[in-house]
Structure 1
Amino acid sequence: MDPVIVVGAGPVGLTLALALARQEVPSVVLDEGPGKDEQRPARTVVLREDTAALLERLTGAALGEYGVRWAGWRSLRRKQVMNEITFDESGPAAPLHIAQHVLTGALRAAVADEPLVKLAVDSRLDAVEQERSGITAHTRGPRGTWWRGSYLIGCDGPRSTVRKLQDIRFPGRTAVERHAVAALRVELPWEGRALLHRMPPWRQSGPSAVEVTARPLPDGVWRLDWLLPPGKDLVTPEILVTRIRETLAGWTDGSTPAYDLLDTGVHVVHHRLARRWRAGRVFLAGDAAHLLGALGTQGLDEGLRDADNLAWKLAPAWHHGHHEALLESYQTERRAAIAARLRAADQALPVLRGGGGLRQMVPGTARGHDALLTEGHLGRGPLGAPGGYADSPLAPPPSEGEIQVDTAPGSPVTDVRVTAEDGTFVRLRDRLGRGALLVVLIAPGTGVWDRKHWVSAGVMPRLAAAVTALPHPAELLVAEDYPGAPAHSVLLVRPDGHLVTALSGVRPAELYAAAQAAVGGAAKEKAEAASSAR
Structure 2
Amino acid sequence: MDPVIIVGAGPVGLTLALALARQEVPSVVLDEGPGKDEPRLARTVVLRADTAALVERLTGTPLAEEGVRWAGWRSLRRKQVMREITFDDTEPGPLHLAQHVLTGALRAAVAGERLVKVAVNSRLDAVEQETSGVTARTRGDKGTWWRGSYLVGCDGPRSTVRKLQDIRFPGRTAVERHAVAALRTELPWTDEALIHRMPPWRTSGPWAGEVTGRPLPDGAWRLDWLLPPGKDLVTPELLVTRVRETLAGWTDGSTPPYELLDTGVHTVHHRLARRWRAGRVFLAGDAAHLLGALGTQGLDEGLRDADNLAWKLALAWHHGPHETLLDSYQTERRAVVAARLRAADQVLPLLRGGGGLRSFVPGSARGQEALLTDGHLGRGPLGEPGGYAGSPLAPPLLEAEVPVDTPPGAQVADVRVTAEDGSFVPLRERLGRGALLVVLVAPGTGVWERKHWVTAGIMPRLAAAVTALPHPAELLVAESYPGAAAHTVLLVRPDGHLVTALNGVRPADLYAAAEAALGGPARREATVGSAST
1:298-345 CA distances to partner (integer Å, 9 max, x unpaired)? 000000000000000000100111111110000000000000000100
Once the two structures are TM-superposed, the CA of residue 356 in structure 1 deviates from its matched residue by 6.2
Once the two structures are TM-superposed, the CA of residue 205 in structure 1 deviates from its matched residue by 6.5
The 5 Å alignment of 1:447-526 reads 447-521=446-520
Separation in structure 2 between the aligned mates of residue 524 and residue 294 of structure 1, nearest angstrom: 41
The 5 Å alignment of 1:198-213 reads 198-204=197-203, 206-213=205-212
1:332-382 CA distances to partner (integer Å, 9 max, x unpaired)? 00000000000100110011112568979xxx9896110101011000100
| Alignment match, 2:6 | 6
SS at match of 1:25: coil
Contact 2:436–2:472 at 8 Å: present in 1 too? yes
TM-score by length of 2: 0.96
| Alignment match, 2:52 | 52
Q: Which amino acid aligns with 1:465?
A: A
Separation in structure 2 between the aligned mates of residue 143 and residue 224 of structure 1, nearest angstrom: 43
Q: 1:68 to 1:143 in 2, by over 3 A?
A: farther
Once the two structures are TM-superposed, the CA of residue 142 in structure 1 deviates from its matched residue by 1.2
The 5 Å alignment of 1:12-23 reads 12-23=12-23
SS at match of 1:97: strand
Separation in structure 1 between the aligned mates of residue 132 and residue 478 of structure 2, nearest angstrom: 43
Percent sequence identity over aligned pairs: 84
Once the two structures are TM-superposed, the CA of residue 209 in structure 1 deviates from its matched residue by 2.7
Separation in structure 1 between the aligned mates of residue 492 and residue 524 of structure 2, nearest angstrom: 21
| Alignment match, 1:228 | 227
The 5 Å alignment of 1:339-418 reads 339-355=338-354, 368-418=367-417
Q: Does 1:114 align with 2:113?
A: yes
1:76-117 CA distances to partner (integer Å, 9 max, x unpaired)? 01111111011112x311100010000000000000000000
Contact 1:194–1:215 at 8 Å: present in 2 too? yes
Q: 1:355 to 1:200 in 2, by over 3 A?
A: farther
Contact 2:350–2:357 at 8 Å: present in 1 too? no
Q: 1:263 to 1:511 in 2, by over 3 A?
A: same
1:117-148 CA distances to partner (integer Å, 9 max, x unpaired)? 00000000010000110011000011420000
| Alignment match, 1:87 | 87
Separation in structure 2 between the aligned mates of residue 523 and residue 218 of structure 1, nearest angstrom: 49
Q: Which amino acid aligns with 1:257?
A: P
Q: Runs of 4 or more off by more than 2 Å in structure 1?
A: 203-209, 355-360, 364-367, 522-527
Separation in structure 2 between the aligned mates of residue 162 and residue 365 of structure 1, nearest angstrom: 39
Separation in structure 1 between the aligned mates of residue 134 and residue 356 of structure 2, nearest angstrom: 57
Task: Please identify, of 287-296 and 230-239, the stretch whose mean Cα deviation from structure 2 is larger.
Answer: 230-239
Separation in structure 1 between the aligned mates of residue 357 and residue 287 of structure 2, nearest angstrom: 41
Q: Which amino acid aligns with 2:266?
A: H
Q: Which amino acid aligns with 1:30?
A: L
| Alignment match, 2:65 | 65
Q: Which amino acid aligns with 1:129?
A: E
Q: Does 1:240 align with 2:256?
A: no
Separation in structure 1 between the aligned mates of residue 98 and residue 358 of structure 2, nearest angstrom: 38
Q: Which amino acid aligns with 2:260?
A: L
Q: Which amino acid aligns with 1:263?
A: D
Q: Structure 1 stretches of 5 or more lacking a match?
A: none
1:169-225 CA distances to partner (integer Å, 9 max, x unpaired)? 000000000000000000000010001101111133643232100000000000000
The 5 Å alignment of 1:280-319 reads 280-319=279-318
Q: 1:129 to 1:200 in 2, by over 3 A?
A: same
TM-score by length of 1: 0.96
SS at match of 2:411: coil
SS at match of 1:322: coil
1:26-55 CA distances to partner (integer Å, 9 max, x unpaired)? 000000000000110010000001000000
| Alignment match, 2:96 | 97
Q: Which amino acid aligns with 2:447?
A: V
Q: 1:469 to 1:154 in 2, by over 3 A?
A: same
Contact 2:19–2:310 at 8 Å: present in 1 too? yes
Once the two structures are TM-superposed, the CA of residue 231 in structure 1 deviates from its matched residue by 1.1
Q: Which amino acid aligns with 1:45?
A: V
The 5 Å alignment of 1:312-327 reads 312-327=311-326
| Alignment match, 1:170 | 169
SS at match of 2:367: helix
Contact 2:394–2:499 at 8 Å: present in 1 too? yes
Separation in structure 1 between the aligned mates of residue 141 and residue 9 of structure 2, nearest angstrom: 18
Separation in structure 2 between the aligned mates of residue 29 and residue 322 of structure 1, nearest angstrom: 22
Once the two structures are TM-superposed, the CA of residue 523 in structure 1 deviates from its matched residue by 8.6
Separation in structure 2 between the aligned mates of residue 343 and residue 378 of structure 1, nearest angstrom: 18
Q: 1:149 to 1:345 in 2, by over 3 A?
A: same
Q: RMSD in angstroms over aligned alpha carbons?
A: 1.8
Separation in structure 2 between the aligned mates of residue 357 and residue 133 of structure 1, nearest angstrom: 56
Q: Which amino acid aligns with 1:376?
A: G
Once the two structures are TM-superposed, the CA of residue 471 in structure 1 deviates from its matched residue by 0.3
| Alignment match, 1:446 | 445
Q: 1:81 to 1:219 in 2, by over 3 A?
A: same
SS at match of 2:254: coil
Q: Which amino acid aligns with 1:484?
A: G
Q: Does 1:41 align with 2:41?
A: yes
Separation in structure 1 between the aligned mates of residue 181 and residue 138 of structure 2, nearest angstrom: 36
1:250-306 CA distances to partner (integer Å, 9 max, x unpaired)? 101121000000000000000000000000000000000000000110000000000
Q: 1:319 to 1:359 in 2, by over 3 A?
A: closer
Q: Which amino acid aligns with 1:396?
A: P
SS at match of 1:440: strand
SS at match of 1:463: helix
Separation in structure 2 between the aligned mates of residue 355 and residue 291 of structure 1, nearest angstrom: 23
Separation in structure 2 between the aligned mates of residue 453 and residue 102 of structure 1, nearest angstrom: 45
Separation in structure 2 between the aligned mates of residue 526 and residue 163 of structure 1, nearest angstrom: 24
Task: Please identify, of 368-377 and 350-359, the stretch whose mean Cα deviation from structure 2 is larger.
Answer: 350-359
Q: 1:205 to 1:303 in 2, by over 3 A?
A: same
SS at match of 1:521: coil
Q: Structure 2 stretches of 5 or more lacking a match?
A: none
Contact 2:216–2:222 at 8 Å: present in 1 too? yes
Separation in structure 1 between the aligned mates of residue 107 and residue 285 of structure 2, nearest angstrom: 18
Contact 1:123–1:143 at 8 Å: present in 2 too? no
Q: Which amino acid aligns with 2:80?
A: Q
Separation in structure 1 between the aligned mates of residue 45 and residue 503 of structure 2, nearest angstrom: 41
Q: Which amino acid aligns with 1:471?
A: P
Once the two structures are TM-superposed, the CA of residue 412 in structure 1 deviates from its matched residue by 0.3
Separation in structure 1 between the aligned mates of residue 520 and residue 291 of structure 2, nearest angstrom: 33
Q: Which amino acid aligns with 2:109?
A: A
Q: Does 1:25 align with 2:29?
A: no
Separation in structure 2 between the aligned mates of residue 417 and residue 68 of structure 1, nearest angstrom: 24
Contact 2:25–2:317 at 8 Å: present in 1 too? yes
Separation in structure 1 between the aligned mates of residue 364 and residue 63 of structure 2, nearest angstrom: 38
Q: Which amino acid aligns with 2:505?
A: V
Aligned residue pair count: 524
